[in-house]
């Protein structure tokens, strides 16, 4: 069950790309217990009727210290992300959670295919970290589309994982619009899907990206329930 709202202190602020920022926060009252892929709800003191609720996925699995890693992009005129961009170490945040069902399937009996756009990679990064904390990780392919080369979140971390773990493959892609991201992803996806054994697809990003990809899998013979999705908007 989700925990009630509590205050968390911002411990650090780091820019991961020119427009993506990471906050490490520490809940002050209770340690959060969560599954990789889940998210917290932030209650932000902004907007016409505060608090403004905004969901953010956890980027790093549960740690003994209880610290939580949040990663978000700077949305032009975005009220919530604009507020988060103002936060400094020592500031407080109200949050509740964890929530969500976008988690690793059980059993892990097929290749896992993560498909993400931009910060849709955040919950996937958490799941990948959890999977590769063990020696026997199942085969994983991450297809991550970013809006520009320097906006590919966790790019070097994933490149390095692909070089050190034989079962991990990483395909970074760049497309400036949502529509272009869908077209490019589908074209790169076909050789992995058409006439191949079924994989477990997990797709994350905004609806304009996630829905056409889910439809692609359904047209390719997948049951709707076999395609796990998380939409951000
Ligand atoms: C379950 C869940 C998990 C989420 N996890 C994350 C996360 O880990 N990192 C993260 O950056 N965001 C995440 N989001 C989105 C986040 O909650 C906010 O919607 C986002 O930060 C925009 O809020 P805002 O108030 O700044 O923008 P708003 O003023 O609400 O404007 C939203 C508009 O900005 C555009 N947009 C650009 N980038 C995003 C984005 N990342 N998400 C949503 N809309 C976007 C969309 O076109 C959307 O219509 C998640 C959302 C959900 C539902």
Same domain, 124 and 87: no
Last residue of a domain, one of 45, 77, 99: 99
Tally the domains of the chain: 2
Residues 184 and 154 in one domain: yes
10-55 pLDDT, tens per residue?
999 999 999 999 999 999 999 999 999 999 999 999 999 999 999 9
Determine the Cα–Cα distance for residues 173 and 104; give it in Å rounded to an integer. Answer: 23
Is residue 226 in a domain?
A: yes
- Domain ends where: 99, 125, 150? 99
**Residue 64 to residue 61: CA distance in whole angstroms:** 10
Exposure string for 89-111, b = 16+ CB within 10 A, e = fewer: eeeebebbbbebebbbeeeeeeb
- Is residue 205 one of the residues assigned to a domain? yes
Distance from Cα 99 to the centre of ligand 1, integer Å: 16
Does 49 map to a domain? yes
- Does residue 226 share a domain with residue 191? yes
Residues 30 and 138 in one domain: no
By alpha-carbon position, which residue is closest to atom 28 of ligand 1? Answer: 78
Q: Is residue 178 part of a domain?
A: yes
CATH code for the domain in which residue 30 is found: 2.40.30.10
- Same domain? 227 vs 186: yes
Residue nearest to atom 20 of ligand 1 (CA): 81
| Residue span of the structural domain in which 74 resides | 3-99
pLDDT confidence band for 195 (50 / 70 / 90): confident
Angle at 151 between CA 145 and CA 156, to 5 degrees: 85
d(CA 199, CA 105): 11
Smallest CA separation from ligand 1 atom 10, residue? 72
Query: Does residue 39 sit in the same domain as residue 130?
Result: no
Closest CA to 61 of 41, 34, 40, 42: 34
- How confident is the model at residue 201, as a pLDDT? 98
Q: Which residues contact 233 (CB under 8 A, 6 or more apart)?
A: 206, 207
191 in a structural domain = yes
- The pLDDT assigned to 3 comes to 59
Q: Are residues 146 and 36 in the same domain?
A: no
Write out residues with Cβ below 6 Å of ligand 1: 39, 54-57, 71-73, 75, 78-82, 100, 119, 122, 206, 230, 232-233
Report CA(222)–ligand 1 centroid distance (Å): 28
**pTM value?**
0.97
Same structural domain, 84 and 159: no
Across the chain, what does the average pLDDT equal?
Answer: 96
Return the ligand 1 atom nearest residue 83 CA.
26
Residue whose Cα lies nearest atom 31 of ligand 1: it is 78
Q: Are residues 93 and 122 in the same domain?
A: no
User: Is residue 106 a part of any domain in this protein?
Assistant: no
The residue contributing the CA closest to ligand 1 atom 5 is 56
The angle subtended at Cα 173 by Cα 147 and Cα 206, nearest 5°, is 50
- Are 126 and 222 members of one domain? yes
- Is residue 78 assigned to a domain? yes
Residue 136: pLDDT band (50, 70, 90) is confident
Burial 193-228 (b: 16+ CB within 10 A, else e): beeeeebbbbbbbbeebbebbbebbeebebeeeebb
**Over 70: is that where the pLDDT of 2 sits?**
no
CATH number of the domain bearing residue 184: 3.40.50.80
Burial bucket for residue 116 (CB in 10 Å: 0-12, 13-18, 19+): buried
CA atoms within 13 A on the CB side of 119: 23
Query: If you count them, how many residues does the chain have?
Result: 233
In a domain? residue 203: yes
Q: What is the pLDDT of residues 66-111, one digit of tens each?
A: 999 999 999 999 999 999 999 999 999 999 999 999 999 999 999 9
């Amino acid at each position: 069950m989700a925990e009630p709202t509590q205050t968390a202190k911002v411990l650090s602020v780091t820019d991961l790309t020119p427009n993506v920022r990471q906050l490490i926060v520490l809940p002050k009252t209770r340690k959060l217990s969560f599954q990789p892929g889940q998210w917290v709800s932030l209650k932000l003191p902004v907007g016409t009727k505060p608090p403004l609720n905004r969901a953010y996925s956890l980027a790093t699995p549960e740690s003994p210290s209880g610290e939580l890693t949040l990663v978000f992009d700077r949305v032009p005129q975005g009220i919530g992300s604009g507020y988060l961009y103002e936060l400094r170490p020592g500031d407080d945040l109200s949050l509740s959670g964890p929530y969500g069902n976008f988690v690793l399937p059980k059993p892990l009996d097929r290749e896992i295919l993560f498909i993400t756009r931009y910060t849709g990679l955040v919950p996937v990064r958490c799941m990948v970290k959890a999977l590769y904390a063990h020696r026997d990780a199942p085969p994983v392919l991450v297809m991550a589309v970013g809006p520009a080369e320097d906006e590919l979140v966790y790019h070097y971390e994933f490149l390095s994982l692909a070089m050190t773990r034989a079962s991990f493959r990483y395909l970074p892609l760049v497309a400036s619009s949502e529509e272009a991201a869908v077209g490019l992803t589908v074209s790169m996806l076909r050789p992995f899907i058409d006439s191949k054994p079924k994989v477990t697809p997990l797709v994350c990003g905004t609806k304009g990206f996630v829905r056409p990809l889910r439809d692609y899998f359904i047209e390719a013979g997948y049951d709707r329930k076999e395609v796990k999705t998380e939409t951000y908007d």
